[in-house]
Amino acid sequence: MSTANNCNVPEELYYVVQEHVWVRPEDDGTITIGMTDAAQNLAGSIVTATPKGAGKSVKKGKSSGTVESGKWVGPIKSPVDGEIVAANEAVVANPKLLNEDPYGAGWFVKIRPSNWAADKAGMVTGAQAVADYEAFLKAQGIDCAK
């Protein structure tokens, strides 16, 4: 796993850097999304996770649900247009999973994208994702070690 300003950035994922959202394409054509390590670090201890439920449609750039910590309440923005096919009930029951394992057990929702090919064109992955995230975090003054 690579890091950017001491924040974990798995290179196999896709990212919408400015929104602190990661995307993992699944074999069945769906995508899994979640908040990045930098996002959970900025939010602090997460106390509530409220993903939208299966069957709900989402628009790119709009909320797929909300997360609340002691110092922040905000959306996890969808990186695609599509339909939510699963919400992570484990993070509803234990929101700290978003802090403890943001790229694994702390996933947020699974979405069936309307047009994955078009939407992924606006994302970065691999070494480019690490470089872009590093530049973004430095510009924002964000460091996960602090």
Domain count, the chain: 1
Residue 146 placed within a domain? no
The tens digit of pLDDT for each residue in 98-137 reads 999 999 999 999 999 999 999 999 999 999 999 999 999 9
Both tokens assigned to 40: 């959970």
pLDDT band at 73 (very low <50, low <70, confident <90, very high): very high
- Asked if residue 42 lies in contact with residue 142, where contact means CB atoms within 8 angstroms, the answer is yes
The enclosing domain of 44 has a CATH number of 2.40.50.100
pLDDT band at 72 (very low <50, low <70, confident <90, very high): confident
Q: Which domain holds residue 48?
A: 2-140
Residue 22 placed within a domain? yes
Residue 95 placed within a domain? yes
Cα–Cα distance, 63 to 102 (Å, whole number): 18
| C-alpha pair distances (Å), 87 with each of 33, 65, 109, 116 | 10, 9, 4, 19
Residue 145 placed within a domain? no
| 15, pLDDT greater than 80 | yes
Residue 102 placed within a domain? yes
Residue 21 placed within a domain? yes
| 146, pLDDT greater than 80 | no
Residue 32 placed within a domain? yes
What mean pLDDT do residues 59-80 have? 94
Residue 55 placed within a domain? yes
Half-sphere exposure of 47 (CA within 13 A, CB side): 6
| 70, pLDDT greater than 90 | no
Cα–Cα distance, 117 to 108 (Å, whole number): 21
pLDDT value of position 71: 83
